[in-house]
Amino acid sequence: MTSAGQTVTVDLVVNGEHVQRTVPARLLLSDFLRHEIGLTGTHVGCEQGVCGACTVLLDDQPVRSCLTLTAQASGRRVRTIESLAEPGKPLHPIQQVLHDHRGLQCGFCTPGIVLTLLFLAEQAEAGSAPTEDDVTEALGGHLCRCTGYLGIVAAARAALPTSEVQAHE
């Protein structure tokens, strides 16, 4: 068992930048990103891994950062919403398609959804195109109280141009 006062040194790459810190052993990745290195785009909603707001990419795989210890990310790559577009610069294509299809409103769920869609898009680019069920399952892990999901699903279909996904429009 880990005592409450134990610390660990973590060494990871966040959005392409090397980060090394000594942190409490039980510090959640979401808290590390937000409070230790100031990346507040990763939102914390339910703190139980259900809502998807805290989703980040860990070695290019979507994970719930509210369920992941920072120590588990040591030696790995983390990508957050901040990695996609700089303030004042054009939006990333995934962000733009969500905007174009009115797939966002208050924005609380948006970072997690964007990173999940980015994961699916990168899988498609690598030759593993998602099916309609893959998209539905991936988006099913995100709670959105504002949009009713129609805009989000339309954006996913536009962002993931596979024949099977677009065939259901």
Select the more confidently predicted residue: 129 or 60. 60
pLDDT band of 1, cuts 50, 70, 90: very low
In the chain, what are the domains? 7-83 (3.10.20.30), 93-166 (1.10.150.120)
Instruction: Match 């993931």 to its residue by tokens.
Output: 160
Measured between alpha carbons, how far is 31 from 25 in angstroms, rounded to an integer? 12
Measured CA distances, 78 to 26, 57, 64, 86, 130 (Å): 18, 6, 12, 17, 22
pLDDT digits (tens, 9 = 90+) for 51-109: 999 999 999 999 999 999 999 999 999 999 999 988 899 999 999 999 999 988 888 88
pLDDT higher than threshold 90 for residue 3: no
pLDDT band of 150, cuts 50, 70, 90: confident
